[in-house]
Amino acid sequence: MVRFSEYMNGQKLLPIIQTGCPETGVAITQAMHAAGIDLVEVVLRHDSSIAVLEAIKSAMPNLKVGAGTIIDTPILKDALNAGADYIVTPAVTPKLLDALVQSGVPVLPGVSNTSDIALAYQAGFREMKLFPANLAGGINFLNGVKSVFRECQFCPTGGINGDNFTDFLALQNVFAVGGTWVVDQKQVESKNWQAITDACKVVL
């Protein structure tokens, strides 16, 4: 099983693209790529999210484009059929974990408590997304589980922002952080793509 951190190739930010407009999704991704981002996550939270993922992959075929918000096997199948390079989930179930193991692509399963971590661990995963990180205990939780799940590394997402991302990245069991804070909606509306590029550079 591919370690997700290796798949990210040293990238410390898992940037989340959340839009229902394919053209906007491509523009945001291009702005991120200009900062040095080579891997992005498109969250499937809109009816047209699959179209956004396909548009980004078509416009930037050398970029790693993953699908997030995968909550069940039908959505997983749709994402894989659309060409998702990797999968991110907000949560785990035994059935979903089985499908993820068999998906044939890198996976970052989402966990929010010790039971979730144990489930993902038993399925063979050693790197996971802590979500929502701020409500799941954040830094205190991650410090609390590091001696119990010694092989596990995390990518906290949810509540991560420009003020606290460095605190999370300083933890021994954190390999990256995820979030949408680098994409300010006002900048998107004004098509200030340079601002998104600059925000990504701060993290990288």
Residues annotated catalytic, as ranges: 41, 129
- Which residue in this structure is represented by tokens 């959505």? 75
Alpha-carbon distance of 162 to 88, in angstroms, equals 22
Q: At what angle do helices 49-59 and 22-34 cross, to 10 degrees?
A: 50
Alpha-carbon distance of 120 to 114, in angstroms, equals 10
